[in-house]
Structure 1
Amino acid sequence: MSSDKNWSDDDGASSKLVRKAKESPFVPIGMAGFMGIVAYGLFKLKSRGDKKMSLHLIHMRVRAQGFVVGAMTIGVIYSMYKQYMSPENTNSDEK
């Protein structure tokens, strides 16, 4: 049955993650940065001084989201460069 083929897991989860990371390397970088910023923000939660907890959490969320958006933007620019402006593609277009 063809629908059973969709459910079979020939690739493991780790090999899928490695394959996706090779296709778009800035996604795992964004995920790791997000987790790092959140971990650092939670670590610094005790030493926030007299700043309200909600304000600390909002700033932490904005920094983490900014890192992810930056990584995605750099990834899009990199893929556009690779697709349209890389020397490999410009030489093949001239033939």
Structure 2
Amino acid sequence: MEDITVKELKERLDNNEKFFFLDVREEWEYDDDNLGAKNIPLANLPHQLDELEAYKDQEIVVHCRSGARSGNAKKFLESKGFSKVRNVPGGILAFREL
């Protein structure tokens, strides 16, 4: 699936739109700046994949600090059969600038 811009993400969050929101930053980063996503650090993703099984056919929006780790998470999830994964290029750094 196509990536999602930080502007579109903010609009969708503001409108309480339905999608699964995943933050793949480390716990300390998540604690500093939390947008309400489920936090599973990228390194833990393979070990916690079962927690996402219920969302396999739903839209999953993945973000991190800059968009790099979430891009890797998107590729990993797609390789595991998740078909509707979207990355947030720019991540939390770009989101803060809105």
- Which is strand-richer, 1 or 2? 2
- Which is helix-richer, 1 or 2? 1
TM-score interval, smaller chain: under 0.3
Point out the structure with max Rg over C-alpha.
1
Which has the higher relative contact order, 1 or 2, with Cα contacts under 8 A spaced 6 or more apart?
A: 2
Q: When the two structures are superposed, what TM-score results if normalisation uses the length of structure 1? A: 0.26
